[in-house]
Amino acid sequence: MNVIFVEPAFPANQREFVRGLAEAGANVIGIGERPADWLDTDLRGWMLHYQQIPNVTDVGALIDAVRLAQSKVWVDALESTIESHTMAAAYAREACGIPGTSVRTAYLCRDKPAMKEALRAVGIQTAQSTGATSSAEVRDFVASVGYPIILKPRAAAGASGTSRVDSDVELDRALAELGSSGATDIAVEEFVEGHEGFYDTISIDGRPAYDFISHYYPNVLEAMRERWISPQFISTNRVESAEDYAEVRDLGLRAIEALGIGTSATHMEWFFGPKGLRFSEIGCRPPGVRAWDLYAAGNDIDIYREWANSIVHHSVERPLSRRRAAGIVALRPDRDGTISHYEGVDEVQRQFGEWILDSHLPGSGTATQPVEAGYMANAWIRMAHPDYDTVHHMLNVVGETVRVHVS
């Protein structure tokens, strides 16, 4: 099987998808933005051919590169795993006659208001929402729904560019910031109160072959706004045993069907609160923040190889063990600057060393990244344990104990 993979080198874990495809028996043709001699020996060795183009989201350039590959070999599949690449990849598939995620599906997974309309049409509850191209349209929505609301660029990935607005003053400020960033098409929705988590799958022909459920502590918007919080998310191993998850899994399957997702990784954000279960976003791609590493550690699988098996063989090899819950805690510096030292790392290692999967503690002299850059922007520690509540407790202790000091 010959598979084109879009952007094999960046971000760093993209190489794992290429490795998985090669180990599953595929001939991998890479199309990316970096020169071939920048790629390491292993990555080059996993690919039959690599072609550099200036920008993989340039639809015309991507189609030209795909057609060049088709002039040399039969291409069975074209895969991308980064949200910003999914539309260009879908256009290239359709232009070049390659099966896979359609333009319609990619559009519905990228355009938040259209996505929510498609979900509501099949009875999946979502926040009230609309698309707006002017401040007047946003204000009309506020007049109908009331505060608080959520604003974000219409095609933004994850929580990128997202803000909560609670008043007219905050709305003026948020619209000005969106305007200065160049965003002219805005997704607007009511703020839904409740606990936030996500539901991810590797699906084959529209049916989850694997599924995973994770929880945020606290919700993402709060985590990205408050420096003092050491936020975490945890993948649970109680997916089958907890009755509360049955509705999440059922709605997840219905969302896959509604959006026409076939053989693909999926990522779905949900809220549960006073108004019940609400789905907020659906992606036909893997989750970010290397959540797949946690799924692999918790379930005793090589998830990148199994993803590749789903594409190459239309099946997975190993069942999920659900042996451990696994999570990450982000460790924020006390202010922006340059990291000077850490406090509490030895104590955490003494208490929980056997349950630590890995950690990232940038050395003295490293410049910090802003809080809104995300969970892995600065220091972090990942842990796993057979009991979900124990993982949650350990991550809490780590967040309270480890301090990142800057100068």
Decide which of 54, 84, 100 is a domain's last residue: 100
Q: Is the pTM of this model over 0.85?
A: yes
Kindly state whether residues 240 and 365 are assigned to the same domain: yes
CA distance 3 to 397: 44
Kindly state whether residues 399 and 275 are assigned to the same domain: yes
Determine, yes or no, domain membership for 111: no
Is the pLDDT score of 30 beyond 60? yes
Kindly state whether residues 289 and 242 are assigned to the same domain: yes
Q: What is the mean pLDDT of residues 229-237?
A: 97
Specify the pLDDT at position 284: 97
State the chain's mean pLDDT as an integer: 93
Is the pLDDT score of 219 beyond 60? yes
Determine, yes or no, domain membership for 112: no
Kindly state whether residues 285 and 397 are assigned to the same domain: yes
Which residues form the domain of 308? 195-406
Determine, yes or no, domain membership for 348: yes
Kindly state whether residues 341 and 323 are assigned to the same domain: yes
Kindly state whether residues 174 and 94 are assigned to the same domain: no
Q: What is the mean pLDDT of residues 222-251?
A: 92
Kindly state whether residues 36 and 171 are assigned to the same domain: no
Residue 218: asked if its preceding bond is cis (omega within 30°), the reply is yes
Q: 278 phi and psi, to 5 degrees?
A: -130, 135
* Residue 144, helix vs strand vs coil: helix
Specify the pLDDT at position 186: 85
Determine, yes or no, domain membership for 329: yes
Determine, yes or no, domain membership for 186: yes
Kindly state whether residues 357 and 234 are assigned to the same domain: yes
Q: What CATH number did the domain enclosing 385 receive? A: 3.30.470.20
Is the pLDDT score of 241 beyond 90? no
CA distance 372 to 169: 22
Residue 11: asked if its preceding bond is cis (omega within 30°), the reply is yes
Percent above pLDDT 70 for the chain: 97
Is the pLDDT score of 295 beyond 80? yes
Overall domain count for the chain = 3
Is the pLDDT score of 192 beyond 90? no
Which residues on neighbouring strands pair with residue 129, listed in sequence order?
Answer: 189
Determine, yes or no, domain membership for 119: no
Determine, yes or no, domain membership for 113: no
Contact status, residue 9 vs residue 39, Cβ threshold 8 Å: yes
Integer CA distances (angstroms), 65 to 56, 83, 159, in order: 10, 20, 31
Is the pLDDT score of 41 beyond 80? yes
CA distance 33 to 183: 25
Integer CA distances (angstroms), 101 to 44, 146, 262, 268, in order: 26, 37, 7, 16
Determine, yes or no, domain membership for 328: yes
Kindly state whether residues 201 and 145 are assigned to the same domain: no
Q: What is the mean pLDDT of residues 299-306?
A: 98
Q: What is the pLDDT of residues 67-116, one digit of tens each?
A: 999 999 999 999 999 999 999 999 999 999 999 999 999 999 998 889 99
Is the pLDDT score of 38 beyond 90? yes
Q: What is the mean pLDDT of residues 188-196?
A: 89
Q: What CATH number did the domain enclosing 65 receive? A: 3.40.50.20
Q: Which string of b and e fits 211-250 if b means at least 16 CB within 10 Å?
A: bbbbbbbebbbebbeeeebbbbbbbbbebeeeeebeebbe
Q: What is the pLDDT of residues 107-160, one digit of tens each?
A: 999 988 899 999 999 999 888 888 888 888 899 999 988 898 988 876 555 555
CA distance 63 to 55: 12
Kindly state whether residues 211 and 157 are assigned to the same domain: no
Kindly state whether residues 281 and 398 are assigned to the same domain: yes
178-182 — which CB contacts under 8 Å span 24+ positions? 178/151, 178/153, 181/153
Decide which of 190, 216, 240 is a domain's last residue: 190
Decide which of 138, 161, 190 is a domain's last residue: 190
Specify the pLDDT at position 265: 98
Kindly state whether residues 251 and 290 are assigned to the same domain: yes
Q: What is the mean pLDDT of residues 220-243?
A: 91
